[in-house]
Amino acid sequence: MPFQDIEDTAATPIPRSPTRFERWLRKIFLEDWSLKLLALSITVVLWLAVTGQNQPVTMRVSGVQLNFLKHEGLEISNEVPSTVEVTLTGSPGKLDQLGRGLVATVDVSDQKAGERVIRLSLDRVKMALPDGVKIQSFQPATIPIRLEPNIETQVDVEVKFEGKLPDDYEVVAVRANPSKVRLRGPSDRLGSLHKAMTETVWLDGKRESFSLSQVAINIPDPKIDILDPTVDVYVEIAEKKRNEIHIGLDTPEGSSYIASIMVLLPAHHQ
């Protein structure tokens, strides 16, 4: 019987227990695939959402109020738009912070008197916007303006009447105190204004003189400031004088008679 050398017999390897690091790698890469896929999906969705919030978008804002910063002593005398449409860019979160009542301030303080066409550019227009929100454009992009010296002057007051006195009465005199009021505005606007009308004073049914206090001066031009906004008014009313006139008349038959005619004369008639 042949003998086998003990060194020639193959040794059966004994299984080795995995290390902690190996178990950790196996758990990460091989176990709980469904749970890991769900977590990965949630992570991707959150990443896309955050990225989308930071991605710049464009938004048009209409009805932005226009305000003009002018050189002292000059005034815009023509009618200009009161609002403008502004195109803005920024992240959705920043644009959502925009409140109502946005104001675009246009600096025209470097302009002299005369006709001008102002381009609404980033160096001329300022707006209070959140960080990261930028102005792209304006609509309209240009605005024509006419700058005139802002002056102060005095004009006569004229009382505006409406209504009708009884037939045998009349207005004898009207006095306003002060008789002139001070106005301020563009020179071309004030140059064409020769009197300052009051609000309506009604005469219906009046038979006696009357006084009114704090009667408002009414100038519809919004470019003109009324420095003396009210006056006191006195209206003198009197009955018309009656005068009887006698006229001698001859008839075709040769007779004659005297006709009497009653005439209403103005109260100041002598």
Task: Report percent pLDDT > 90 for the chain.
Answer: 57
Q: For position 270, what pLDDT does the model report?
A: 40
More confident call, 267 vs 44: 44
Please state which of the ranges 4-18, 51-65, 119-133, 136-150 shows the lowest mean pLDDT: 4-18
Q: For position 269, what pLDDT does the model report?
A: 45
User: Using alpha carbons only, how large is the chain's radius of gyration in Å?
Assistant: 46
Task: Report percent pLDDT > 70 for the chain.
Answer: 70
Please state which of the ranges 82-96, 101-115, 164-178, 206-220 shows the lowest mean pLDDT: 82-96
For range 238-263, the mean pLDDT: 63
Q: For position 262, what pLDDT does the model report?
A: 52
Say what the alpha-carbon torsion angle 102, 61, 78, 69 is, to the nearest 10 degrees.
40
Q: What average pLDDT does the structure give for the chain?
A: 83
Give the 3-state secondary structure of the chain.
CCCCCHHHCCCCCCCCCCCHHHHHHHHHHCCCHHHHHHHHHHHHHHHHHHHHHHCCEEEEEEEEEEEEECCCCEEECCCCCCEEEEEEEECHHHHCCCCCCCEEEEECCCCCCEEEEEECCCCCEECCCCCCCEEEEEECCEEEEEEEEEEEEEEEEEEEEECCCCCCEEEEEEEEECCEEEEEEEHHHHHCCCEEEEEEEECCCCCCCEEEEEEEECCCCCCCEECCCEEEEEEEEEECEEEEEEEEEECCCCCEEEEEEEEEECCCCC
More confident call, 41 vs 9: 41
Per CATH, the number for 57-149 is 2.170.120.30
Question: Would the pLDDT of 208 be above 50?
Answer: yes
Please state which of the ranges 173-182, 226-235, 239-248 shows the lowest mean pLDDT: 239-248
- 132 and 203 in contact (C-beta within 8 Å)? no
Separation of alpha carbons 162 and 106, rounded Å: 44
Pick the CATH number of 150-241 from 3.40.50.720, 2.170.120.40, 2.30.30.110, 1.10.3720.10: 2.170.120.40
Q: What are phi and psi of 240, to 5 degrees?
A: -65, 140
End-to-end CA distance of the chain: 177
* Model pTM score: 0.62
More confident call, 98 vs 149: 149
pLDDT in tens, 130-149: 888 899 999 999 999 999 99
Separation of alpha carbons 190 and 101, rounded Å: 32
pLDDT band of 243, cuts 50, 70, 90: low
- 198 and 217 in contact (C-beta within 8 Å)? yes
Please state which of the ranges 70-74, 133-137, 190-194, 254-258 shows the lowest mean pLDDT: 254-258
Please state which of the ranges 36-50, 107-121, 123-137 shows the lowest mean pLDDT: 36-50
